Amino acid sequence: MKLKKHSTTLQHEKNADWVDGYKVVRIFWDGRMASSAVNRFLGGIIYQEGTIIVPKEGCGPICVFKRLKDALRFKTQPEEIIMRCKFLPSKKKSVWVKGDAWCIKQRLCELARGTVLADAVKLLGKVRKKIKK
């Protein structure tokens, strides 16, 4: 799988260990999927099912969940959906979001319970089964 050019921190390997997980995304009126918690102008990503996505330059890693119950707990808005995904775990312990003249750093312990950081994500499809919270 090839990664987009703007990935400066990820050296993709043929036998990289992709992990199963879940990504909460926001659906726009035109069907586009975006980061649920980060505005696209501050580093939020527009996702496309089946495409490997890496963080924007100066941002990242990407926040995902390993367990469905953590993704369900995080999803709070009706315009959000949970997508199954494959991800490459990151060794980083903080998330960076860039602003106009500054960066916001959040440590993993400050993020939603169950958050896992990823250097790359590939959305596979919407979680369809009904699950009680």
Dihedral through CA 108, CA 55, CA 99, CA 78, nearest 10? -70
Domain assignment present for residue 82? The answer is: yes
Whether residue 88 is contained in a domain is answered as: yes
Q: Are 64 and 22 in contact (CB under 8 A)?
A: yes
In a domain, 5, yes or no: no
Closest CA to 115 of 11, 13, 10, 22: 22
In a domain, 14, yes or no: no
pLDDT in tens, 4-13: 444 433 445 4
Q: What percent helix, strand, coil does the chain show, rounded to 5? A: 10, 40, 50
In a domain, 9, yes or no: no
Domain residues for the domain of 55 are: 19-126
Q: Is residue 3 part of a domain?
A: no
pTM for this model (two decimals): 0.79
* 37 — pLDDT class (breaks 50, 70, 90): confident
| Number of structural domains the chain divides into | 1
Average pLDDT for 36-45: 65
Residue 28 counted as domain residue: yes
Identify the band that residue 31 occupies on the pLDDT scale cut at 50, 70 and 90: confident
Does pLDDT of 2 surpass 50?
A: no
Q: How far apart are CA 107 and CA 89, in angstroms?
A: 16
What span, in angstroms and rounded, lies between the C-alpha atoms of 44 and 56? 8
Residue 31, in any domain of the structure: yes
- pLDDT tens, position by position, 85-129: 999 999 998 887 666 555 566 667 678 899 999 999 999 999 986
Query: Do 123 and 89 meet the contact criterion of CB atoms below 8 Å apart?
Result: no
